[in-house]
Amino acid sequence: MSDRQAIEAVVHLYVEGMTFANEAALRKAFHPQCAVIGHYENTVEWSTRDEFIAAIVSEGSAPPGTQPHMDIQTLDVVGDAASVRVSDDFAGMRFTDYLSMLKIDGRWTIVNKVYYLHA
């Protein structure tokens, strides 16, 4: 599997983890020390991985059969660092996410997420 394919697989894991409130998938996609940052309800939200996952799980899963929206708009890789801009939906809201990724011990992981919530 190429680095691009491995990165796309992590992004799929992340989006499907959010869509279906899959804690295990989200834990696999995100590094334990990552931060999730963006404006939500007119305030800056700055969450740890565990806080972010808890919020996703408390929202609950989309109905079975839901097709997750995921549009990878840019994917840039240099060595063991990558940046991905992806459009996705969660709980009826559209987001643009900027995912910083790093290849650690041979596996790509999300080390930081900055998001924009579309009005």
Residue 119 pLDDT: 86
Residue 41 pLDDT: 87
The model's pTM: 0.95
* Contact in structure between 87 and 70 (CB atoms under 8 Å): yes
User: How many Å apart are CA 88 and CA 104, to the nearest integer?
Assistant: 25
Question: What mean pLDDT do residues 33-51 have?
Answer: 96
Helix (H) / strand (E) containing 33 = strand 30-40
CA 12 to chain centre: 8
87-99 pLDDT, tens per residue?
999 988 999 999 9
User: How many Å apart are CA 10 and CA 28, to the nearest integer?
Assistant: 8
User: How many Å apart are CA 84 and CA 52, to the nearest integer?
Assistant: 19
